């Protein structure tokens, strides 16, 4: 397919027009996909083996290697993510089974996650459809209407220690063991969750048998939990920034929310590689089937997209952790202290 000319792309004002242009990048290269999978899973397994060997020398050394290996687990999750969007292999069956296999390593039942993540893509930025596959965000007025106990609960939820520390532990260790959000949606999701659980249990049994509790405590859990925290942070900062985009009812438009409610997280090259270019998140939301390794091509060919969305550097992104409430009138995400200064609704 011929890529549409750059002048035509630069002249566009309607985000929906990008769908036609970005379709040129949707087809995966089977060789490249296999290569990207190999250079993710082989180092991951290799570092696991090195960490296991390091246990005989120093538990701290094994722990350090396990934390380093979390980066490769994040990258594997991004490949699982692309499989879920049907954009990683030309064969949907191959993509699904690759995603299911990786889901055992990421402690994420693939079919459950794929469905809830699809809800996120179809409803992101829609104030009337919050609740599944997103980070809970309240408006200023909703927060003010809460009881003191309700406000305390929301404040605890949005606290960075909970959101990026305890939250990932709960999500990946406990919540993912059941098809939460799809409990009554059919046997398929229970099979996905229970099948993943069984495979995880078998792996843990093997680790305990051959390596003991130390291997679980110093290698398995640190790798998973550091990767989980990094993944939750990425998901947070890709949508939770000051001038993000939320609307209600007929005012909400899918492609507006994709382009203006998703950040361009411009990470250093090494982190960009480990996170599978997911920082180019506005492009991903505009056309989710584009394989992660083709996202830089989009910015190269259509430089306007590098500046259209909210660009965040790693340093700038840290300030997003203090934003908690959506101001529907000012159309920006605020901290609790900023929200207190707003006048009460008349």
Sheet holding 325-327, edge to edge: 138-139, 325-327, 332-334
Q: How confident is the model at residue 13 (pLDDT cuts 50, 70, 90)?
A: low
The confidence score (pLDDT) of residue 132 equals: 81
Phi, psi torsion values for 15, nearest 5 degrees: -55, -25
Query: What would the two tokens of residue 254 be?
Result: 């899918």
User: Which residues lie below 8 Å from residue 105, measured CB to CB, with a gap of 6+?
Assistant: 44, 73, 76
* 233, pLDDT greater than 80: yes
The confidence score (pLDDT) of residue 14 equals: 77
Instruction: Provide, rounded to the nearest whole percent, the portion of the chain with pLDDT above 70.
Output: 96
The number of C-alpha atoms within 13 Å of 264 and in the hemisphere containing its C-beta is 17
Which tens digit of pLDDT belongs to each residue from 288-325?
Answer: 999 999 999 999 999 999 888 899 999 999 999 999 99
Distance CA 301, CA 285 (A): 18
In the predicted model, what is the mean pLDDT of the chain?
93
The number of C-alpha atoms within 13 Å of 66 and in the hemisphere containing its C-beta is 24
Which tens digit of pLDDT belongs to each residue from 44-85?
Answer: 999 999 999 999 999 999 999 999 999 999 999 999 999 999
Asked if residues 329 and 283 have their Cβ atoms less than 8 Å apart, the reply is: no
Of 296, 290, 295, 298, nearest to 85 by C-alpha is 290
Of 264, 278, 272, nearest to 309 by C-alpha is 264
Distance CA 32, CA 90 (A): 12
* 7, pLDDT greater than 50: no
Distance CA 159, CA 153 (A): 10
What is the pTM (predicted TM-score) of this model?
0.93
- Tell me the C-alpha to C-alpha distance, in Å, between residue 175 and each of 151, 166, 193: 23, 12, 10
* 2, pLDDT greater than 60: no
Distance CA 98, CA 77 (A): 11
Q: Can you spell out the DSSP letters for 161-182?
A: HIIIIIHHHIIIIIGGGTTTT-
Distance CA 339, CA 300 (A): 39
* 252, pLDDT greater than 80: yes
Collapsing DSSP states into helix, strand and coil, what is residue 265?
strand
* 11, pLDDT greater than 80: no
Instruction: Provide, rounded to the nearest whole percent, the portion of the chain with pLDDT above 90.
Output: 90
Distance CA 207, CA 219 (A): 10
Q: How confident is the model at residue 346 (pLDDT cuts 50, 70, 90)?
A: low
Which tens digit of pLDDT belongs to each residue from 127-169?
Answer: 999 888 889 999 999 999 999 999 999 999 999 999 999 999 9
The confidence score (pLDDT) of residue 194 equals: 98
The number of C-alpha atoms within 13 Å of 163 and in the hemisphere containing its C-beta is 24
Report which DSSP code applies to 264.
E
Which tens digit of pLDDT belongs to each residue from 87-105?
Answer: 899 999 999 999 999 999 9
What number of other Cβ atoms are within 10 A of residue 278's Cβ? 23
User: Which residues lie below 8 Å from residue 202, measured CB to CB, with a gap of 6+?
Assistant: none
* 257, pLDDT greater than 60: yes
């Amino acid at each position: 397919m011929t890529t549409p000319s750059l002048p035509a792309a630069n002249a566009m004002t309607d985000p929906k027009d990008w769908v036609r242009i970005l379709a040129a990048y949707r087809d995966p290269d089977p060789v490249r996909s296999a290569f990207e999978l190999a250079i993710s899973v082989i180092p991951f397994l290799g570092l696991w083996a090195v960490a296991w060997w390091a246990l005989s020398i120093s538990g701290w050394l094994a722990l350090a290697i396990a934390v380093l290996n979390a980066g490769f687990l994040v990258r594997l999750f991004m490949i699982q993510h692309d499989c879920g969007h049907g954009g990683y292999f030309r064969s949907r069956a191959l993509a699904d089974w690759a995603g299911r296999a990786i889901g055992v390593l990421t402690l994420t039942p693939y079919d459950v996650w794929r469905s809830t993540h699809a809800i996120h893509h179809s409803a992101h930025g829609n104030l009337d459809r919050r609740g599944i596959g997103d980070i809970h965000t309240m408006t200023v007025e909703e927060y003010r209407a809460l009881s003191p106990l309700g406000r305390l609960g929301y404040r605890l939820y949005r606290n960075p220690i909970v959101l990026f520390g305890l939250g990932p532990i709960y999500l990946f260790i406990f919540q993912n063991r059941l098809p939460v959000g799809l409990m009554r949606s059919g046997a398929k999701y229970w099979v996905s969750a229970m099948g993943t659980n069984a495979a995880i249990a078998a792996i843990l049994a093997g680790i305990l048998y051959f390596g003991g509790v130390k291997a679980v405590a110093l290698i398995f859990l640190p790798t998973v939990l550091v990767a989980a925290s990094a993944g939750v942070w990425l998901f947070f900062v890709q949508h939770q920034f000051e001038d993000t985009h939320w609307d209600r009812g007929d005012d909400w438009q899918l492609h507006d929310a994709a382009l203006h409610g998703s950040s361009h997280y411009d990470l250093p090259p090494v982190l960009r590689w480990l996170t599978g270019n997911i920082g180019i998140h506005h492009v991903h939301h505009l056309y989710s089937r584009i394989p992660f390794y083709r996202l830089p091509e989009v910015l190269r060919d259509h430089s306007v997209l590098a500046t259209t969305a909210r660009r965040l550097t790693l340093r700038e992104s840290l300030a997003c952790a203090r934003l908690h409430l959506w101001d529907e009138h000012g159309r920006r995400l605020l901290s609790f202290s900023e929200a207190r200064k707003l006048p009460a609704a008349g």
